[in-house]
Amino acid sequence: MGTSASQLGKDVLNEYQELTFLTKQEILLAHKRFNELIIKEGGTENPSSVSMGTILTLPELKSNPFRKRICQVFSTSEAKDGSLTFEDFLDLLSAFSDSATLEIKSHYAFRIFDFDDDGTLDQGDLEKLVNCLTGETDDTRLTPEEMRQLISNILEESDIDKDGTVNLSEFQHVISRSPDFVSSFKIVL
């Protein structure tokens, strides 16, 4: 599915549209933005990908508390450095688009929140999740007791099989009862 960073042919554009939840106009805008990031990066050794640091300069990600984790989840880089190819960038935009299904959005949200990539949200993942949302400063950090109580409440509501973790199907069940989730899980260029 690869293409050079400077051009986007009609066949490739059609293929990207078939494989994503994006319109042709959104794909062309994404391609333009991706090329701007390549230029911003300057003499990059690999013009087919953009570093996580450069991706994180996008206003749409700059203030997202999960910005680094988002890059890590969507990156197909063997170096596991969070860099994104154009296809990775399209996958990210597609998953966060208004047209993406609840199943797709919840799948990627789960992967973003699964910090240790073990397929479950355990106490460690939930602590990192809460810290990302509340901020990790002394003024905003929860006390150990507050954190314990919050995680206990999360597990009580979400952990259907009572194994001490939240798996993908349990997470999707919780999300299905939250109509605001779909509208809040988006990035618009």
Convert the pLDDT of each residue in 95-147 to its tens digit.
999 999 999 999 999 999 999 999 999 999 999 999 999 987 888 889 999 99
Query: Is residue 85 within 8 Å of 74, Cβ to Cβ?
Result: no
Convert the pLDDT of each residue in 56-73 to its tens digit.
999 999 989 999 999 999
Contacts of 127 (CB under 8 A, 6+ apart): 147, 151
Q: Tell how far CA 18 is from the center of its chain.
A: 21
User: Which CATH number is 154's domain given?
Assistant: 1.10.238.10
Residues spanned by the domain of 112: 102-184
Contacts of 118 (CB under 8 A, 6+ apart): none
Domain shared by 115 and 158, yes or no: yes
Query: Is residue 93 within 8 Å of 189, Cβ to Cβ?
Result: yes
Query: Is residue 65 within 8 Å of 133, Cβ to Cβ?
Result: yes
Top pLDDT among 114 and 41 is at: 114
Domain shared by 70 and 32, yes or no: yes
